[in-house]
Structure 1
Amino acid sequence: MRRYNGELIHASRDEHGPIEIVEDSRVRSLHFGSRSRQSALFLDRPEALVLAYTQSMMAALLLHAAPRRVLLVGLGGGSLARFLLHHYPDCQIDAVELRPRVVELAHGYFRLPEDDARLNIIPGEGRHFLTHAALRHSDYDLILVDAFHGTGMAEEVAEADFFAAARGRLADEGALAVNLWQQPAQRLRRTLTGLQDAFAGRCLQLPVPTRGNLVALASTRPVPPDLATAWDLRAHALSRFTGLDFPGFLEGLAEANSAS
């Protein structure tokens, strides 16, 4: 059966709605009842990031280039986890995912390892975890937030109290990356204001080219005023290391934040 320009290989439903997996000759994709892809896997390169917004989220490495502890809020098919486990073999990852069925499918269809001691999957809602988790779930070098459902960004990860709680879980030199949607504009402005307040203005925006996504980055440390100069060497080193276009990310950051 054809679906979203591919072959439908799985369809199910949980209390939050439909879950579909579609495959073509190169890519397997996760959908939550709409054409929007929630996660994707190159069948011949499972460690690579397919979707532009997931690539842009890794611009957080410009703020912290060698993470040892990472928190993922929203697992999806596990794209970010696979990427980090491949490139940072000493990294310990906690991943909070609301939907148990999504976790099952990430293991079954998206090659997310089930028995890797470096990956700890925690069932539940991201804001509740950040607010109530034990003290050992702190001092993260990176927190990466990608919590979407079929119709847009999850409300609970777009509020000021969520960002304040995330700030409290970061290490002294930690950084946050959040996948946002640019519409509706009023909601985006409110979300960005909450992020700015939580991080004392130490925030950057990275629009995802040709997409409606906007990646927001926030740091516990001051952001250099001249990004292009301060992070040029780091961007090229990260590009060689990961294969991602970090000089392009840096150019986008410099352009989008030139007036701030």
Structure 2
Amino acid sequence: MTWLAGLRRRVRPLDPTGLPLRPARLRRVGAYTALQFTRGQTQSRMLGDAPDQLLIDYTRTMLAALLWQPRPRTICMVGLGGGSQAKFIHRHLPGARLEVVENHPGVIALRREFQVPDDDARLEVVLDDGARFVATRPGRYDLLLVDGYDAGGIPAALSTVAFHDACRNALRPGGVLATNLFCVDTAPHLERLRRSFGAGNVLVVEEPRMSNQIVFAWAGVAPAGDAADLARVRAALPAAAHAALSPSLERVARALRLRGVGVQVDA
């Protein structure tokens, strides 16, 4: 029995390309459920009584991508995690189809523990390599949300010029990418994004109280971030969703306005 237990500990899950992964672990503390790959490092967190609530600030900031596309038809998410954004989108954006690609079979196996809805006409969760998945879907998405992390940080496959080119190509005209940069040297990532999208089509927004930067990169013209843009998003969202996102929408809108008058906003 001890030998079998030790063998199970040594056998690691594999991603779709054959690379070994740390096991995905579930941890419950009080009313909260967390996803971890390494003890003490939380990848996602859910409040059991409100499973689609966006508890972590940066997840709300990423959804300020709605300023570019208030009524998206098709959304791609790279990285399921605990499914916070997936659940929020599925509940509050009934006109959108969401395609989620996750490379960790253990994460997908925990989807019911995190109350991620079953696949239906508006939601599909796919086990695949995120870079490979995005590269095969040119011109498909209005919003592309990239928050793919493993135990070591951002995977190498999501850190290449080819991946960022594929992200640009996967967007419809007017589409936007929102990506989370956490505790990494952001300069190489920003250089690649500016190379793929154009220097004028990248906006970096610092996350207050966190070590995250949210980067928006788009194909086409950026919104002005004015009252009309905010009104369009308000009209497109249910009241509860707008209330949850309003501070983030206003903060990103302000960054867009400052950008429009030549003020540096990504320092």
1:64 and 2:69 aligned: yes
Quote the sequence identity (%).
30
Structure with greater strand share of residues: 1
Residues 92 and 240 of structure 1: CA distance in aligned 2, closer, same or farther (over 3 Å): same
**Amino acid paired to 1:194:** R
Distance of aligned partners of 1:59 and 1:239 in 2 relative to their CA distance in 1, 3 Å threshold: farther
CA distance in 2, matches of 1:195, 1:92: 25
- TM-score relative to the length of structure 1: 0.83
Q: 1:254 matched to which residue of 2?
A: 254
SS of residue in 1 equivalent to 2:115: coil
Q: CA deviation at 1:105?
A: 0.6
RMSD of aligned Cα (Å)? 2.4
Match of 2:95, SS? coil
1:92 deviation in Å? 1.1
Deviation per CA, 1:213-239, whole angstroms, max 9, x where unpaired?
111011112224x53556343465559
Give the count of matched residue pairs. 242
Structure-2 change in CA distance of 1:239 and 1:86 (3 Å): closer
Change (3 A) 1:52 1:112: same
The Cα shift of 1:253 comes to 5.7
Matched with 2:216 is 217
Per-residue deviation, 1:155: 2.1
SS state of the match for residue 52, structure 2? coil
> Which amino acid in structure 1 is aligned with residue 62 of structure 2?
M
Shift of 1:182: 4.3
| Alignment correspondent of 2:17 | none
| CA deviations over 1:200-225 (Å, ceiling 9, x no partner) | 2311112111111111011112224x
Hey, what does 1:45 align to over in structure 2?
A: 50
Q: State the SS of the aligned residue for 1:231.
A: helix
TM norm structure 2: 0.81
Structure 2 unaligned spans of 5+: 1-8, 14-19
Q: CA deviation at 1:249?
A: 4.0
The yes-or-no answer on 1:179 pairing with 2:180 is yes
1:6 maps to none
**Contact 2:230–2:249 under 8 Å retained in 1:** no
Give runs of aligned pairs for residues 111-122 of structure 1, distance below 5 A. Answer: 111-122=115-126
Structure 1's 102 and 88: CA in aligned 2 closer, same or farther, altered over 3 A?
same
* SS of equivalent to 1:32: strand
Return the letter of the residue paired with 1:55: R
Q: What CA distance in whole angstroms lies between the structure 1 residues aligned with 2:240 and 2:168?
A: 28
Show the counterpart of 2:21: 16
Measured after TM superposition, the shift of residue 112 of structure 1 is 1.1
Aligned residues of 1:239 and 1:246 also touching (Cα < 8 A) = no
5 Å-filtered alignment, 1:73-92, equals 73-92=78-97
Separation in 2 of the partners of 1:150 and 1:75?
15
Structure 1 window deviating more from structure 2 (17-26 vs 47-56): it is 17-26
Secondary structure of the structure 2 residue equivalent to 1:143: strand
Q: Aligned partners of 1:227 and 1:182: how far apart in 2?
A: 28
